């Protein structure tokens, strides 16, 4: 029997409780959420023609550039003696093109010739068929922006873009870009609408960005610097992505960040999906997995610019449109404040080198912005020496939340459903900032999702301690991933939601407003007989919400003792994720309803299931 004290709320569940964590890993930004179809549009990768297939006479130059911070550009020369001159872009494992939709090609160009020069623009299918052709004419010696609209009839998952000179002469080109018209809200420099919709459907309360390890960078030089990610996209300096290789077994030398999806776009996306923004900033340490070498860490006496970045970011997000950084936000199109409430400093850092750097950040942010909640970190492990060292340090620093990460096996997730029952109620709160159940196959299997669902009963049951939680990583391109499992997979045309996605969605859609007591023999239901459970009420809809996981292979017959319910019958709305095939990667939830006798409701919990029940109070 589960005793459920519906009449007595224990503590609130914050609207921010279930969120998302975005990192540009697995081609999640360039090649993913960011709708740009051209790879290396600014010719700034280490090999400036990476992503491009040149033909004829093609040079890379940087003298007298169009964009100071992205100085390389391409020079194309053609005379009748050679067959053809031009460039073909391979996109991100090809370009996803939808027939019947419009695509905007833009480029900056100038000629070195007296007469105007025509350029043929073609979309090429995977079978090397031309399926759309347009023309652009370049004239004049000064850099100018040119645009042309492509309206292909065919749909192609792995198209290429080809540019060919039609007339003899020489032109220079830079920032060659191709965007679908149908970005989310049809915004210029926009995001892939289907991927944004997948995020919205998660109803996230918090949105952490931009990483992950990319915040740290492989080196100090290549750390994520938000100030490089705002203003005109053409002049945001391209940066190598920390995930150009993954622990040396998968290499992606062509993985860079165009930064076209930058901090302004992240704040805008937070608004679009209705989540509180939670930016993470570098704390003066590059990725410690890569560098134990102190040279790659900012000495304490050189930390000020990093701290200033944090203060300036708060002004960029919240400051009046007349302030230095608020003015830039306003100029980019958002005079209103983004109402930033959280900031995280450092990702997965460890040791005293982290603590001594975090300290001056906390002091400076508290002094200038006392209302901003500061998130510190407990290192990359969910337990162990470093973890035990960092937590007391975070308490001393009085950060508001501590970011804990766990990528662990199924058994860990099941046994850690009780993890927060014994946490200090007077310490900083927990942000479970990166977690995912990793099985031997590393697949997004139902087994992994079920174990996460079981574990999450413990997060919700302890919502007085756990204020935020986000699964990680969020996105992965099916043809270009570095890490798995991931919440949402996509190819150039489609999006695939995983069982783990549905677990997150079932929690966020049914979080309720307040936890109520659910016990069996006065103990939390957290693993005995393979059952895990949590209960909440939603004060807005006046419903009781009960979530139950059965991780075992036997069905369980249980009784709910629903305190406060008068004798009678009630209908419960039910959502279930259930399968005996734990390797299933495509399972989706099923909705139904059941009749219950109350207050003592008897019901059967199916084996290998996660079920959410909603009952009108
Ligand atoms: O989510 C993938 C990586 O895991 C993150 O970048 C990092 O924070 C963690 O190690």
Residue nearest to atom 2 of ligand 1 (CA): 473
Same domain, yes or no, for 175 and 193?
no
Q: Is 23's C-beta closer than 6 angstroms to any atom of ligand 1?
A: yes
Q: Is the pLDDT of residue 247 over 70?
A: no
Number of folded domains that form the chain:
3
Pocket residue to mutate for ligand 1, from 211, 280, 408, most atoms within 8 A of Cβ: 211
CA-CA distances (angstroms) from residue 443 to 247, 319, 411, 474, 488?
Answer: 19, 44, 16, 14, 12
Residue nearest to atom 1 of ligand 1 (CA): 473
Same domain, yes or no, for 555 and 475?
no
Q: Is 475's C-beta closer than 6 angstroms to any atom of ligand 1?
A: no
Q: Which atom of ligand 1 is nearest to the CA of 214?
A: 6
Same domain, yes or no, for 176 and 191?
no
- Per the structure, the complete domain to which residue 376 belongs is given by 18-34+184-509
Last residue of a domain, one of 180, 214, 230: 180
In a domain, 44, yes or no: no
Assess contact for 511 and 461: CB atoms under 8 A.
no
User: What pLDDT does residue 227 have?
Assistant: 98
**What DSSP element (H or E) covers 208?**
strand 206-209
Whole-angstrom Cα distance, residue 566 to residue 587?
Answer: 37
- Stretch 123-130: mean pLDDT: 97
Same domain, yes or no, for 25 and 132?
no
- Stretch 352-360: mean pLDDT: 97
Whole-angstrom Cα distance, residue 477 to residue 255?
Answer: 13
Q: Is the pLDDT of residue 381 over 60?
A: yes
Secondary structure of residue 165 in the 3-state scheme? strand
Pocket residue to mutate for ligand 1, from 434, 476, 488, most atoms within 8 A of Cβ: 434
User: What pLDDT does residue 33 have?
Assistant: 98
Report the 10 Å Cβ neighbour count for 22. Answer: 25
User: What pLDDT does residue 252 have?
Assistant: 84
Q: Is 347's C-beta closer than 6 angstroms to any atom of ligand 1?
A: yes
In a domain, 502, yes or no: yes
Q: Is 349's C-beta closer than 6 angstroms to any atom of ligand 1?
A: no
Same domain, yes or no, for 194 and 221?
yes
Q: Is the pLDDT of residue 246 over 70?
A: no
Same domain, yes or no, for 469 and 530?
no
Assess contact for 512 and 17: CB atoms under 8 A.
no
- Is 276 annotated in the active site? no
In a domain, 475, yes or no: yes
User: What pLDDT does residue 251 have?
Assistant: 77
Q: Is the pLDDT of residue 459 over 90?
A: yes
CA of 138 to the centre of ligand 1 (A): 45
- ipTM here: 0.99
Assess contact for 468 and 431: CB atoms under 8 A.
yes
Residue nearest to atom 4 of ligand 1 (CA): 212
Whole-angstrom Cα distance, residue 534 to residue 547?
Answer: 5
Residue nearest to atom 3 of ligand 1 (CA): 212
User: What pLDDT does residue 249 have?
Assistant: 58
Q: Which atom of ligand 1 is nearest to the CA of 211?
A: 6
- Stretch 182-199: mean pLDDT: 98
In a domain, 481, yes or no: yes
Whole-angstrom Cα distance, residue 332 to residue 500?
Answer: 36
Beta bridge mates, 119: 136, 165
Segment 229-244, tens digit of pLDDT: 999 999 999 999 999 8
Whole-angstrom Cα distance, residue 328 to residue 316?
Answer: 7
In a domain, 117, yes or no: yes
Secondary structure of residue 265 in the 3-state scheme? helix
DSSP-assigned letter for residue 94: B
Q: Is 482's C-beta closer than 6 angstroms to any atom of ligand 1?
A: no
Q: Which atom of ligand 1 is nearest to the CA of 21?
A: 1
Same domain, yes or no, for 408 and 505?
yes
pLDDT band at 45 (very low <50, low <70, confident <90, very high): very high
For residue 540, the domain's CATH number is: 2.60.40.1180
CA-CA distances (angstroms) from residue 22 to 72, 147, 472?
Answer: 30, 31, 8
Counting Cα atoms < 13 Å in the Cβ hemisphere of 411 gives 1
Read off the tokens for 18: 């279930």
CA of 330 to the centre of ligand 1 (A): 33
Whole-angstrom Cα distance, residue 279 to residue 19?
Answer: 13
Residue from 176, 149, 174 nearest 162 by CA = 176
For residue 102, the domain's CATH number is: 2.60.120.260
In a domain, 43, yes or no: no
pLDDT band at 250 (very low <50, low <70, confident <90, very high): low
Same domain, yes or no, for 370 and 337?
yes
Same domain, yes or no, for 102 and 208?
no
User: What pLDDT does residue 293 have?
Assistant: 75
Is the preceding peptide bond at 349 cis, omega within 30 degrees of 0? no
Q: Is 380's C-beta closer than 6 angstroms to any atom of ligand 1?
A: yes
CA of 484 to the centre of ligand 1 (A): 11
In a domain, 40, yes or no: no
Write down the H helix ranges in 131-281: 193-200, 213-216, 263-273
Same domain, yes or no, for 461 and 497?
yes
Whole-angstrom Cα distance, residue 257 to residue 24?
Answer: 8
Q: Is the pLDDT of residue 134 over 60?
A: yes
Whole-angstrom Cα distance, residue 482 to residue 591?
Answer: 34
Same domain, yes or no, for 282 and 172?
no
Whole-angstrom Cα distance, residue 492 to residue 159?
Answer: 10
pLDDT band at 517 (very low <50, low <70, confident <90, very high): very high
Query: Which residues are CB-contacts of 107 (< 8 A; sequence separation ≥ 6)?
Result: 136, 145, 146, 173, 174, 175, 176, 177
**What DSSP element (H or E) covers 251?**
strand 250-251
User: What pLDDT does residue 423 have?
Assistant: 98
Residue from 310, 318, 262 nearest 283 by CA = 310
CA of 553 to the centre of ligand 1 (A): 33
pLDDT band at 51 (very low <50, low <70, confident <90, very high): very high
**What DSSP element (H or E) covers 309?**
helix 304-318
For residue 188, the domain's CATH number is: 3.20.20.80
Last residue of a domain, one of 180, 197, 221: 180
In a domain, 46, yes or no: no
- Residue of 23, 122, 348, 434 marked active site: 348
Is the preceding peptide bond at 473 cis, omega within 30 degrees of 0? yes
Q: Is 205's C-beta closer than 6 angstroms to any atom of ligand 1?
A: no
Read off the tokens for 200: 């919205």
CA of 363 to the centre of ligand 1 (A): 27
Assess contact for 6 and 519: CB atoms under 8 A.
no
Q: Is 403's C-beta closer than 6 angstroms to any atom of ligand 1?
A: no
Q: What are phi and psi of 70, to 5 degrees?
A: -135, 70
Last residue of a domain, one of 180, 199, 232: 180
Three-state SS string over 461-500 comes to HCCCCEEEEEECCCEEECCCCCCCCCCEEECCCCEEECHH
Same domain, yes or no, for 527 and 597?
yes
Report the 10 Å Cβ neighbour count for 143. Answer: 17
Segment 473-514, tens digit of pLDDT: 999 999 999 999 999 999 999 999 999 999 999 999 999 999
- Stretch 272-282: mean pLDDT: 98
Q: State percent of the chain over pLDDT 90.
A: 94
Segment 4-38, tens digit of pLDDT: 999 889 999 999 999 999 999 999 999 999 999 99
Average per-residue pLDDT for the chain: 96
Q: Which atom of ligand 1 is nearest to the CA of 242?
A: 6
Q: Is the pLDDT of residue 91 over 70?
A: yes
Pocket residue to mutate for ligand 1, from 377, 405, 488, most atoms within 8 A of Cβ: 405
CA of 405 to the centre of ligand 1 (A): 8
- Stretch 171-179: mean pLDDT: 98
């Amino acid at each position: 029997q589960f005793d459920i004290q519906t009449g007595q709320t224990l503590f609130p569940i914050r609207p921010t409780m279930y969120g998302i964590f975005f990192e540009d890993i697995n081609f999640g930004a360039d090649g993913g959420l960011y709708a740009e179809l051209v790879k290396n549009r600014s010719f700034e990768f280490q090999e400036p023609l990476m992503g491009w297939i040149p033909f004829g006479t093609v040079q890379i130059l940087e003298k007298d550039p169009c964009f100071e911070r992205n100085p390389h550009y391409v020079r194309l020369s053609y005379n009748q003696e050679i067959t053809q001159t031009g460039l073909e872009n391979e996109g991100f494992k090809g370009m996803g093109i939808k027939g019947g939709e419009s695509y905007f090609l833009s480029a900056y160009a100038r000629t070195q010739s007296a007469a105007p020069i025509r350029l043929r623009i073609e979309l090429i299918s995977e079978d090397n068929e031309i399926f759309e052709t347009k023309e652009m004419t370049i004239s004049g010696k000064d850099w100018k922006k040119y645009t042309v609209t492509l309206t292909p009839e065919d749909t192609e998952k792995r198209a290429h873009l080809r540019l060919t000179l039609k007339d003899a002469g020489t032109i220079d080109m830079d920032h060659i870009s191709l965007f679908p018209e149908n970005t989310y809200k049809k915004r210029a420099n926009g995001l892939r609408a289907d991927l944004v919709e997948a995020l919205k459907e998660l109803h996230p309360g918090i949105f952490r960005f931009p990483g992950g390890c990319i915040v740290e960078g492989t080196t100090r030089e290549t750390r994520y610097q938000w100030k490089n990610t705002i203003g005109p996209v053409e002049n945001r300096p391209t940066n190598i992505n920390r995930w150009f290789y993954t622990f040396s077994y998968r290499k992606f030398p062509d993985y860079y960040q165009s930064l076209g999806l930058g901090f302004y776009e992240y704040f805008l996306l937070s608004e679009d999906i209705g989540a509180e923004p939670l930016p993470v900033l570098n704390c003066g340490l590059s990725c410690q997995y890569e560098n134990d070498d102190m040279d790659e860490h900012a000495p304490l006496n050189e930390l000020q610019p990093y701290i200033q970045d944090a203060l300036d970011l708060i002004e960029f997000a919240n400051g009046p449109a007349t302030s230095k950084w608020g003015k830039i936000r306003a100029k980019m199109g958002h005079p209103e404040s983004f109402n930033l409430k959280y900031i995280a400093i450092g990702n997965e850092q460890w040791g005293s080198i982290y603590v001594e750097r975090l300290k001056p950040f906390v002091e400076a942010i508290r002094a200038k912005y006392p209302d901003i909640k500061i998130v510190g970190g407990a290192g990359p492990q969910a337990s162990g020496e470093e973890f035990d060292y960092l937590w007391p340090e975070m308490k001393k620093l009085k950060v508001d939340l501590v970011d804990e990460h766990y990528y662990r096996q199924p058994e860990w997730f099941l046994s850690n459903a009780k993890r927060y029952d014994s946490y200090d109620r007077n310490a900083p709160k927990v942000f479970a900032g990166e977690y995912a159940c990793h099985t031997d196959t590393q697949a997004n299997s139902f087994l992994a999702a079920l174990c996460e669902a079981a574990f999450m009963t413990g997060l919700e049951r302890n919502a007085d301690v756990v204020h935020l939680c986000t699964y990680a990583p969020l996105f992965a391109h099916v043809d270009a991933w570095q890490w798995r499992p991931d919440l949402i997979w996509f190819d150039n045309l489609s999006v695939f939601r995983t069982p783990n996605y549905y677990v997150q969605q079932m929690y966020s859609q049914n979080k309720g407003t307040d936890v109520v007591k659910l016990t069996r023999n006065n103990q939390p239901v957290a693993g005995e007989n393979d059952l895990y459970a949590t209960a909440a009420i939603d004060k807005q809809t006046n419903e009781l919400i009960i979530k139950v996981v059965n991780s075992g292979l036997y069905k369980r017959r249980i009784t709910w003792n629903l305190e406060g319910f008068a004798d009678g019958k009630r209908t419960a709305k039910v959502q279930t994720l259930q399968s005996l095939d734990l390797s299933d990667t495509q399972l989706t939830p099923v909705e139904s309803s059941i009749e219950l006798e109350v207050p003592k409701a008897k019901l059967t919990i199916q084996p290998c299931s996660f079920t959410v029940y909603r009952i009108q109070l």
